[in-house]
């Protein structure tokens, strides 16, 4: 705390100042929208003034809020750097970071690895794929030190770090599917196709989030085959066994002549996050150093407005 102000309140304000959207702020902080509102109210109470104006149509900083943001941003950045540097000095960053990933290793991940290895001579990231149907298993089995997985991640023993690559979802279908020539479809259109699902041991909530059972208006979405790997799902879609939801970067990476990838409006954006096992003392120095590199390589253009 600083002057009675909690760090979480400062973080909520800084992210809200960037997003100007309570829902997206909650997504980035991995808290509810109402929690963001509570943190903002607490901060405004402590400073004695309104920092944010919120109406049914827009969110914006007050003039005082804009001044506060301009003064606070460099101070908070310096604080984060001091904490990270001290943590790194106290621990051993040099060595191999075993890093797992789901889907495809996108450009931001590659940039983060390059930054991590450049900042910490003697360190290296060893990258391996996390099973599509077992996002948290490799962490628990000690096969990786950290893993980049599709959200949500609501496991009590798993900590969630930087969230990135918020992108709209696309539907992978056979080129012979009725949707293949559409410029886009809506979430309600999913009620008319068999949606390929994910087999266990992935948690039920994670499987439902990445292959929803109902449309936003409550219509049932038919169930297609349950797959264990991303390649099984893409193959099933290519031969017409069903359709599969994918984030845009994964769709772009796995483009092939037998598949069409159709943007879907009306669904929450997909997102990736760095995760590690909780141990009561925070992430290891090596994981913390990589988390900072990942956060620092964030691409604002990779976070479009939700459709």
| Per-residue pLDDT reduced to its tens digit, 82-116 | 776 666 565 678 889 999 998 777 788 899 999 99
Q: What is the DSSP string of 133-162?
A: T-SSHHHHTTS-SEEEEESP---TTEEEEE
Tens-binned pLDDT, residue by residue, of the chain (307 aa): 455 678 889 999 999 998 899 988 888 887 888 999 999 999 999 999 999 998 888 999 999 999 999 999 888 888 877 776 666 565 678 889 999 998 777 788 899 999 999 999 889 999 999 999 999 999 999 999 999 999 999 999 999 999 988 999 999 999 999 999 999 999 999 999 999 999 989 999 999 999 999 999 999 999 999 999 999 999 999 999 999 999 888 888 888 899 999 999 999 999 999 999 987 667 888 999 999 999 988 765 454 443 3
What's the mean per-residue pLDDT of the chain?
89
Please report the pLDDT score of residue 305 as a whole number: 40
Q: Which of 227, 252, 251, 228 is nearest to 241 (CA)?
A: 227
Please report the pLDDT score of residue 107 as a whole number: 82
pTM above 0.75, yes or no: no
| Per-residue pLDDT reduced to its tens digit, 8-55 | 899 999 999 988 999 888 888 878 889 999 999 999 999 999 999 988
Based on its alpha-carbon atoms, the radius of gyration of the chain, rounded to whole angstroms, reads 21
* Four-residue CA torsion sign, 48, 69, 42, 79: negative
Q: Which of 66, 55, 79 is nearest to 13 (CA)?
A: 66
Please report the pLDDT score of residue 306 as a whole number: 37
Please report the pLDDT score of residue 202 as a whole number: 95
Neighbours of 233 (CB within 10 A): 28
Distance (Å, whole) CA 230 – CA 246: 9
């Amino acid at each position: 705390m600083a002057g009675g102000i909690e760090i979480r309140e400062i973080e909520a304000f800084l992210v809200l100042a960037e997003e100007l959207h309570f829902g997206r702020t909650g997504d980035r902080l991995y808290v509810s929208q109402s929690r963001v509102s509570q943190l903002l109210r607490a901060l405004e109470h402590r400073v004695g003034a309104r920092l944010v104006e919120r109406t049914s149509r827009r969110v914006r900083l007050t003039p005082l809020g804009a001044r506060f943001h301009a003064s606070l941003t460099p101070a908070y950045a310096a604080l984060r750097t001091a904490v990270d540097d001290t943590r790194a000095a106290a621990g051993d960053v040099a060595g191999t970071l075993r890093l797992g990933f789901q889907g495809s290793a996108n450009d931001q991940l590659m940039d983060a690895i390059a930054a991590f290895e450049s900042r910490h001579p003697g360190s290296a990231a060893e990258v391996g794929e996390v099973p599509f149907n077992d996002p948290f298993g490799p962490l628990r089995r000690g096969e990786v030190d950290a893993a980049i997985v599709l959200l949500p991640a609501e496991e009590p023993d798993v900590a969630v770090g930087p969230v990135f690559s918020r992108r709209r979802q696309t539907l992978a279908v056979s080129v012979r599917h009725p949707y293949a020539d559409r410029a886009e479809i809506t979430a309600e259109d999913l009620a008319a196709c068999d949606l390929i699902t994910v087999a266990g041991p992935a948690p039920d909530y994670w499987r439902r989030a990445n292959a929803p059972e109902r449309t936003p208006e409550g219509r049932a979405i038919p169930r297609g085959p349950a797959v264990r790997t991303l390649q099984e799902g893409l193959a099933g879609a290519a031969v017409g066994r069903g359709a599969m939801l994918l984030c845009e970067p994964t769709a772009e990476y796995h483009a092939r002549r037998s598949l069409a990838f159709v943007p879907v409006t009306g669904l929450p954006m997909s997102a990736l996050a760095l995760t590690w096992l909780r141990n009561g003392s925070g992430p290891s120095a090596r994981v913390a150093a990589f988390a900072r590199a990942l956060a620092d390589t964030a691409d604002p253009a990779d976070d479009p407005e939700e459709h």
